[in-house]
Amino acid sequence: MAAEPIAPLRGLRNLAILLAIWEVVGRLDLVAGGALPGITEILLRLWEDRGDYPRHVWATLAASGAGFVIGNFVAVAAGVLFALSPVALRLFRGVNIAVFALPPIAIAPILVLTLSGMAPRIVLAALGVYFVTMTATVIGLSQADSRATDLIRAYGGNRRDELRLVLFRGAMPSILAGLRVAAPNAVLGAILAEFGGGGRWGLGAYLLGSLGRGEPDRLWGIGLVATLIAGLSYGAFALLSRRVAGATRAVTLNSAIPDVSVQAGGPALRVALAGGTIALPFVLWWAFIRLTGVPDLIAKTPWGVVDYLFLAHTAETAQARLFAALAETLPITVLGMFAGLGFAFALAVSSRLAPRAIEAFMPVALITQTMPLVALTPLLVLILGRGPSLTLWVTISVTFFPAFVTLAQGLALVPRSAEDLPRAYGAGRWREIGMVTIPASLPYLFAATRLTVPRALLGVMIAEWLATGRGLGNLLNQSRGYLDYGMIWTVAAVSVLLSVVFYQAVVIVERRVLRRMGMATAE
Amino acid sequence: MTAPDGIALSGVCKTFTGRGRVVEALRDVTLSCPQGSFTAIIGPSGCGKSTAMRIAMGLEAPDAGTVRIAGRAPLDAARAGLTGIAFQDAALLPWRSVRRNVEVPLEVLRRPLAASADHVGHLIDLVGLTGFENALPGELSGGMRQRVAIARALVTHPQVLFMDEPFGALDQILRRQMNLELQRIWAESGSTALLVTHGIDEAVFLADSVVIMHAGPGRIVERIDIPFERPRQPHLFSDPLFHETCDRIAEALHGG
């Protein structure tokens, strides 16, 4: 038997095998009557279209790059603020969850109505990165080794010294993992805005223009280019974080009991905070509309949506349409979410069992997962048709990626000594995983679940908008066509509210479980 | 006027609430360590000895009672650079080299690093880590990491030295060596030392006074003065009087 080739070579070998299979299958038109062209056919088409690409690619890059920088800058600043001030964190909780839960596809039409030029694309890209990076920053800062921060405090250091000497450096792997996930998000956000907002240039616009022409090779070409951009941005940060994480891993297990957050202030303050948390998103919504100065007919304030849905003479039909759409959207969202999450968890845990198999699988997983969803959906439509299974697959793939990255990172931070202990007592890999890996990664599993919830809804809505013609996504698309501004704002508001409710449900379970286990919440 | 006690705890009480249970960690703990003395606290796990030390360092606030370090509030003393700290767990920053870990207190206190470069090098030499200045904690053994922590505790020329089981992770041979070293360093520095330990022999060898604590609630039950002359030599470990003292402390620990 020949010696096993070293890791990168093995990855290349697997990729080569995959490409060869793709080529054969494509050339023979084995998938859905030619929906999957051979790789060489796609490349040939790319070459033919080479004149079109630069301006589209440039437009997408510019928007997602600007959004990435702006969004991350705000996110890290906000993360530091929240890590330093629990009051601010609580007050902005509603805003954070709402920003996170905004299905970009629902917001795209709204941004196009209220902003102009490149602004909608940049805003959507920035929104796509904000929450991921902000959360990663707070997690990284708040999960610092309490022994190290004790040392700084014992020498009379203040919060700033802790930040400077311990927290920032300790949070780097977490922040970089956040940026890694955020980078493809920015591309996805920009393309979604191009998709939903018209405009001539940008890969989203190009894709939209080519969608109706039934040319699988061109659609695949655009999809590959979009994936390449997202994948390269992911890879750059993955490389960076690998260089940093090595020295940051704790050498011993920190067994200090995490601080139970002290409820400072009286009940009056707490009620005020809770009220502020709920009110702030609506205040910002209202302020955004007032600041952009868009007329009331087009831009609905929170009150405008209530009026549309409950008071206006068309309220009843509006409600009926909304509920019918919800009945189609909700079940498949829940199903897709659990499937995506389960798959991610199984894969992350088994990456401990069979690191080499995962290594071989990773390139494939990354390629499919960094593929911006809008670019992926038309291709999945070609293969899977426009039925419910399409929605399900899109949802699984959109939840899987962030969940897997979060979990894999959590597992990588499990201290060496904790893993060595069961092994030293002769425990097998499975025992070790059961005793150490899974419990230690629980905070990350919950964090991943929280991340996944709204994405599931996004996946479903994208599939509905682009392909199946059902549910909330379709309702949004239709309303755009009918210039039914009330319904556009209503769907956006309802989808955000739904996500927030799901999210809160996860948070409640998380608090209970982790408190019982004496672990800290990965906020 | 006499100098204030190096460490003075008076009537300190502390309770913790965790997972629905209330634990009385310290009840009416009063302890005074004169300037330049060496005091060891010994007691079973969970008797609150580490909590007492955390309160003395200013990491926890007592529910009742007062704390004075060299006549000042604990954190004021810390900010003035009067204290040195070695934790039970080395608590090294994993991304910093040995030298850069030793320098952490200087950075917190915003002292110029260049001025202390020789001192840092001397301390690393003192704890026997010459040649490892640029190693990362992950590359060191447990004992070596602990020695980095000792060097770090001494880097500020502290007046008051807090040590929470600093040699807990070391083997007996190395531990005795470090005890001798510590006695020398402490005598040179003239600092007030407070040592939390599990080791009776270590306490008797190093301290002027051994404080015995019991758990549930955490409290001081006895204080035994150790009369041996200084500097104490290694052969003290085999002195009959030494063993007698150790036995007395063991008795006091087991409910005496």
The DSSP result for A288-324, as a single string, is HHHHHT--TTTS--HHHHHIIIIISTTHHHHHHHHHH
Helix axes A438-463, A471-481, angle to 10 degrees: 40
Is there a domain that residue B242 lies in? yes
- A180 CA to chain B: closest CA distance, Å? 21
Show which of residues 119-158 on chain A sit within 8 Å of chain B, judged by CB atoms. 145, 147-148, 150-157
Is there a domain that residue A21 lies in? no
- A148 CA to chain B: closest CA distance, Å? 5
Predicted local distance difference test score (pLDDT) of residue A110: 83
Using CB atoms, pick whichever of B17, B59, B156 lies closest to residue A153.
B59
Contact state of B78 with A518 under an 8 Å Cβ cutoff: no
Judging contacts by C-beta atoms under 8 Å, the chain B residues touching residue A258 are none
Per-residue pLDDT of chain B (256 residues; tens, 9 = 90+): 467 888 999 999 999 886 667 888 899 999 999 999 999 999 988 888 888 988 998 888 999 999 999 889 988 888 888 888 887 766 788 788 899 889 988 888 888 888 889 999 988 988 888 999 998 888 888 778 888 888 888 888 888 999 988 887 777 887 888 888 888 878 887 889 999 998 899 999 999 999 999 988 889 999 999 989 888 999 998 999 999 999 999 999 987 5
Is there a domain that residue B34 lies in? yes
Which residue range(s) make up the domain with B37? 1-82+161-166+191-256
Find the closest chain B residue to A415 by CA distance: B138
- B166 CA to chain A: closest CA distance, Å? 14
Mention every residue, 6+ apart, whose C-beta is less than 8 A from residue A11.
A359, A360, A362, A363
Give phi and psi for B33, each to the nearest 5. Answer: -115, 110
d(CA A294, CA A115) in angstroms, rounded, equals 9
Is there a domain that residue A280 lies in? yes
Judging contacts by C-beta atoms under 8 Å, the chain A residues touching residue B79 are 155-156
Across residues A197-210, what is the average pLDDT? 78
Mention every residue, 6+ apart, whose C-beta is less than 8 A from residue B113.
B103, B106, B107
Predicted local distance difference test score (pLDDT) of residue A197: 67
Is there a domain that residue B92 lies in? no
Contact state of A249 with B109 under an 8 Å Cβ cutoff: no
Using CB atoms, pick whichever of A154, A515, A518 lies closest to residue B59.
A154
Contact state of B75 with A156 under an 8 Å Cβ cutoff: yes
Show which of residues 89-148 on chain B sit within 8 Å of chain A, judged by CB atoms. 89-95, 104-105, 107-109, 136-138, 145
Calculate the average pLDDT of chain A: 79
Contact state of A156 with B19 under an 8 Å Cβ cutoff: no
CA angle (A384 as vertex; A378, A387 as ends), nearest 5: 95
Predicted local distance difference test score (pLDDT) of residue A1: 39
Using CB atoms, pick whichever of A150, A257, A518 lies closest to residue B59.
A150
pLDDT tier at A75, thresholds 50, 70, 90:
very high
Using CB atoms, pick whichever of B76, B79, B85 lies closest to residue A151.
B85
Q: Per residue in A212-251, pLDDT tens?
A: 776 778 888 888 888 888 888 888 887 887 777 655 544 4
Assess: ipTM above 0.85. Answer: no
Task: Please tell me if residue A302 touches chain B, with a CB cutoff of 8 Å.
Answer: no
Using CB atoms, pick whichever of A151, A156, A166 lies closest to residue B87.
A151
Find the closest chain B residue to A251 by CA distance: B138
Is residue B248 a contact partner of residue B224, using CB atoms and an 8 Å limit? yes
- B34 CA to chain A: closest CA distance, Å? 21
Is there a domain that residue A199 lies in? yes
Is residue B195 a contact partner of residue B40, using CB atoms and an 8 Å limit? yes
Identify the CA nearest to A151 among candidates B211, B188, B59, B222.
B59
Contact state of B95 with A252 under an 8 Å Cβ cutoff: no
Say which range, A138-147, A502-511, B27-36, has the weakest mean pLDDT.
A138-147
Q: Per residue in A243-298, pLDDT tens?
A: 776 555 444 444 343 333 444 567 778 888 888 888 888 898 888 888 888 887 78
Predicted local distance difference test score (pLDDT) of residue A477: 86
b/e per residue, A53-85, with b = 16+ CB within 10 A?
Answer: eeebbebbbbbbbbbbebbbeebbebbbebbbe
Is there a domain that residue A522 lies in? no
Is residue B40 a contact partner of residue B33, using CB atoms and an 8 Å limit? no
Is there a domain that residue B223 lies in? yes
Q: Amino acid identity of A55?
A: R
Q: B interface mutation test: which of A143, A151, A153, A160 has the most B CBs within 10 A?
A: A151
Helix, strand or coil for residue B37? coil
A502: its two tokens: 């799901």
Contact state of B58 with A154 under an 8 Å Cβ cutoff: yes
Predicted local distance difference test score (pLDDT) of residue B2: 60
Judging contacts by C-beta atoms under 8 Å, the chain B residues touching residue A249 are 94, 138
Is there a domain that residue A15 lies in? no
Identify the CA nearest to A132 among candidates A74, A61, A81, A87.
A74
A-to-B residue pairs, Cβ atoms closer than 8 angstroms: 80
Is there a domain that residue A259 lies in? no
Using CB atoms, pick whichever of A156, A169, A247 lies closest to residue B108.
A156
A91: its two tokens: 């007050």
CATH number at residue B239: 3.40.50.300
Is there a domain that residue B96 lies in? no
- Comparison of pLDDT for A199 and B215, the residue scoring more: B215
- A208 CA to chain B: closest CA distance, Å? 48
Give phi and psi for A104, each to the nearest 5. Answer: -55, -35
Contact state of A518 with B19 under an 8 Å Cβ cutoff: yes
Contact state of A147 with B89 under an 8 Å Cβ cutoff: yes
Mention every residue, 6+ apart, whose C-beta is less than 8 A from residue A253.
A415, A417, A418
Is residue A112 a contact partner of residue A196, using CB atoms and an 8 Å limit? yes
**What single string gives the DSSP state of each residue in B72-85?**
B-HHHHHHTT-EEE
Q: Amino acid identity of A381?
A: V
Give phi and psi for B34, each to the nearest 5. Answer: -60, 155
- A241 CA to chain B: closest CA distance, Å? 14
**What single string gives the DSSP state of each residue in B213-241?**
EETTTTEEEEEEE----SSPPGGGGG-HH
- A170 CA to chain B: closest CA distance, Å? 8
A370: its two tokens: 């960094």
Q: Is the pLDDT of residue A492 over 80?
A: yes
Task: Please tell me if residue B46 touches chain A, with a CB cutoff of 8 Å.
Answer: no
Q: A interface mutation test: which of B50, B89, B159 has the most A CBs within 10 A?
A: B89
Dihedral class, residue B20 (left if φ above 0, else alpha if ψ from -120 to 50, else beta): left
- By the 10 Å C-beta count (0-12 exposed, 13-18 middle, 19+ buried), B80 is classed as middle
Across residues A329-337, what is the average pLDDT? 89
Q: Is the pLDDT of residue A463 over 90?
A: no
d(CA A422, CA A101) in angstroms, rounded, equals 40
Predicted local distance difference test score (pLDDT) of residue A36: 74
- A252 CA to chain B: closest CA distance, Å? 8
Mention every residue, 6+ apart, whose C-beta is less than 8 A from residue A418.
A253, A436, A440
Is there a domain that residue A380 lies in? yes
CATH number at residue A139: 1.10.3720.10
Contact state of B58 with A250 under an 8 Å Cβ cutoff: no
Q: Per residue in A410-452, pLDDT tens?
A: 777 776 666 666 666 666 777 777 777 777 777 888 888 887 7
Domain count, chain B: 1
Which residue range(s) make up the domain with A169? 31-248+268-517
Task: Please tell me if residue A253 touches chain B, with a CB cutoff of 8 Å.
Answer: no
Is there a domain that residue B21 lies in? yes
d(CA A517, CA A510) in angstroms, rounded, equals 11
Using CB atoms, pick whichever of B79, B92, B95 lies closest to residue A169.
B95
Domain count, chain A: 1
CA distances from A1 to A4, A5, A46 (A): 9, 12, 41
Find the closest chain B residue to A243 by CA distance: B95
Q: Amino acid identity of A370?
A: T
pLDDT tier at A370, thresholds 50, 70, 90:
low
Q: Is the pLDDT of residue A85 over 70?
A: yes
Dihedral class, residue A286 (left if φ above 0, else alpha if ψ from -120 to 50, else beta): alpha
Across residues A191-217, what is the average pLDDT? 77
Is there a domain that residue B14 lies in? yes
Judging contacts by C-beta atoms under 8 Å, the chain A residues touching residue B95 are 169-170, 247-248
- B102 CA to chain A: closest CA distance, Å? 12
Q: Is the pLDDT of residue A318 over 70?
A: yes
Find the closest chain B residue to A155 by CA distance: B78
Q: Is the pLDDT of residue A28 over 80?
A: no
Is there a domain that residue A19 lies in? no
- B17 CA to chain A: closest CA distance, Å? 9
Contact state of A145 with B91 under an 8 Å Cβ cutoff: yes
Is there a domain that residue B23 lies in? yes
